[in-house]
Structure 1
Amino acid sequence: MKDLHTCLNAMTVDVEDFFHVSAFDKIITPADWDSYKPRVDANTRRLLDVFAQHGVKSTFFILGWVAERYPELIKDIHAQGHEIASHGYSHRRAYEQTPEEFKADVLRSRDHLQDLLGESIAGYRAPSFSIGYSNEWAFEVLAELGFRYSSSTYPVKHDLYGTPDWPRFAYMRPENIIEIPIPTLRIAGKQVPIGGGGYFRLYPYGLTRHLVRKYLEKEKQPYSFYFHPWEIDADQPRLKQASAKSKFRHYVNLKHTESKLERMLEDFNWSTMKDVYGVNA
């Protein structure tokens, strides 16, 4: 039974493989990627089956590296009625790039996706939510490239990202692009991350459901959720050379993610970012 709330919320997937993640960027470089056996195609197709079983449409933020190697996957996602958006090309954090490098990275991803689908791409999400204080110019680049919305900020404190004093809800930027931050819930004066990813794997599902319900009741705003195909893949290779912190972040509770996701799909109402936030392509 669906949650009593009638609010429509945004389901999103960041389509990247286990060797692309920021947690491993100190031990795996882009030059190494082709030496690993990809798992993203099978994992993403598994997610498509789960979404189909629950009648859910999602926004898939596609890494350009993945799109170039699996064009049929991207076409199949689109054919099943999901939204295709950009996750950039190389999974390099935006604040580590110059404006010229960032533009080239996003443009390569956008053009490939648009050529595959024959339609414009409205949305973008920066790897590791890496638009912030030092690179607000990225919004100008995205607007110049024709994007209508971004979901690239997380108003929390984190060692890889975070803009804790930026808006918590969707808003129109001065650059004429909508920014849709990852959700947080204010508890005892602090902003608690509740948007998905590693926190979703770490929290017991009952706690996640409670926090999301509280967010909907308190904020009267739609909720958006994100995760990755590798998070339902408990059989992925274990990288022994990674730090203990990185291993914990990446591997915690992988075997429970799919069952928790299915409960999320049943407990709340879901659609794409474009539908939930009224974005016109």
Structure 2
Amino acid sequence: MTGKIYLNFDLEEFDIPCEYGQPIKEEEQIEVTSEGLKRLLELLQKKGLQATFFTTASFALNQTALAKNLLELGHEIASHGLDHKPKAKEEDLFLSKKILEEISSVPVLGYRSPRFRPVDPQALLSHGYAYNSSINPTWLPGRYNYLHYPRKIFSYQGLVQVPISTTPIVRVPLCWLSFKNLPPSLFNLFSWITLKEKGYLNIFFHPWEFAPIQNYAMPKAAKSLDGKALLKRLEEYINWLMSLEVPFAKLGEVVGPMGNSPTLK
């Protein structure tokens, strides 16, 4: 089968319990994410894979050595905003990119807004971004309804848009929530159908999922599988994807070198 598999992760503070009545200190949020990230990086290195990490500037400033280690291992760093708080300002687009580039010493080409909030393409372009992956073209009650967006990579107002992969017709999102709550055989089938139809998969997770999070206040669906058990399942999924003989790629590869000459796939 031909195509590309874009495996990517939202590298953010573990703040989801704060939404459900359990405030936790920033130090603990960073610690949980860091623990999961270290496990995840070991798996990716074991499999010889490179991925894209949409990173908040807050996490990168708190864990500069880990952020630099991502680059040393060949991964891509993209922006996930200044932090993962519910509200953001346009200047955050510039500041998060500036901070990440100062830490990494490489251009930051991509952006994903926290919680998939809408973002102005012209604002992203004006701040030097080349692609945006802030669209999950499905309906998530209480969060967003992006059913009107295309399901494939497209260009809008000069910016390359890379939506999260969803299945045809019913638009089941192929991401962390469905991964841990659907039977593996069904998730694999949905992945195969979508890959065959669109020619690529854009699938995302969070590093904090690979830490033990069962004792935190959050919906059962978000922690139904965590830690080492989830890591094992991800490894099995990666093994299955590799059996399809479809190359893995970083999301920055959807645009040309240094963000020039978009190549839509």
Q: TM-score range by the shorter chain?
A: 0.7 to 0.9
1:148–1:279 CA contact under 8 A, matched in 2: no
Structure 2 equivalent of residue 6 of structure 1: 2
Tell me what 2:252 maps to: 274
What CA distance in whole angstroms lies between the structure 2 residues aligned with 1:130 and 1:37?
22
What is the CA-CA distance between 1:167 and the residue it aligns to?
Answer: 1.1
Helix, strand or coil at the partner of 1:25: helix
> Residues 215, 237 of structure 1: CA spacing in aligned structure 2 closer, same or farther, 3 A cutoff?
closer
Please point out which of 186, 189, 198 is paired with 2:168.
Answer: 186
Q: Is the 8 A contact 2:214 2:226 kept in 1?
A: no
Aligned to 2:153: 170
The alignment's TM-score, normalised by the length of structure 1, stands at 0.82
SS in structure 2 of the partner of residue 258 of structure 1:
helix
Give the structure 2 partner of residue 211 of structure 1. 190
Instruction: Show CA shifts across 1:68-126 (max 9, x none).
Output: 11111111000111111111012134xx44xxx2x222222211110112221000111
Residue 35 to residue 197, structure 1, CA distance change in 2 (3 Å): closer
C-alpha displacement of 1:204: 1.4
Q: 1:150 matched to which residue of 2?
A: 132
Residues 1:113 and 2:75 aligned together: no
Distance 2:108 2:37 in 1: 20
Q: 1:227 aligns with which of 205, 210, 220?
A: 205
**1:84 aligned partner, one-letter code:** I
Deviation at 1:42, TM superposition (A): 2.6
Number of paired residues?
A: 251
Shift of 1:279: 4.1
User: Is the contact made by 2:52 and 2:251 (CA closer than 8 Å) also made in structure 1?
Assistant: yes
CA shift, 1:250, in A, is 2.4
Q: How many Å separate the matches in 2 of 1:147 and 1:155? A: 21
Q: 1:193 to 1:237 in 2, by over 3 A?
A: closer
Greater Cα shift, 104-113 or 206-215: 104-113
CA 37–68 in structure 1, closer or farther in 2 if over 3 Å, else same: closer
Unmatched tracts of structure 1, length 5 or more? none
Q: Distance in 2 between matches of 1:222 and 1:37?
A: 32
- Decide whether aligned partners of structure 1 residues 178 and 29 sit closer, same or farther in structure 2, where only a CA change above 3 A counts: farther
Could you say which residue in structure 1 is the equivalent of 2:261?
A: none
Report what 2:34 is aligned to. Answer: 41
Counterpart Cα distance in 2 of 1:90 and 1:37: 11
Contact kept, 8 Å, 1:62 with 1:86, in 2: the verdict is: yes
Shift of 1:39: 2.0
Amino acid at match of 1:193: P
* TM-score, with structure 2 as normaliser: 0.87
Amino acid at match of 2:230: T
AA in 2 matched with 1:13: F
Would you say the 8 A contact 2:97–2:108 is kept in 1?
yes
1:9 Cα shift?
Answer: 0.8
**1:55–1:36 CA distance, 2 compared to 1 (3 A):** closer
Output the CA distance in 1 between the equivalents of 2:114 and 2:207. Answer: 15
Deviation at 1:35, TM superposition (A): 6.1
Residue 249 of structure 1: which of 221, 228, 243 is its match? 221
- In the alignment, is the contact (CA less than 8 A) between 2:13 and 2:29 conserved in 1? no
Distance change >3 Å, CA 263–CA 150, structure 1 → 2: same
- C-alpha contact 1:56 1:265 (8 A) present in aligned 2: no
RMSD: 2.0
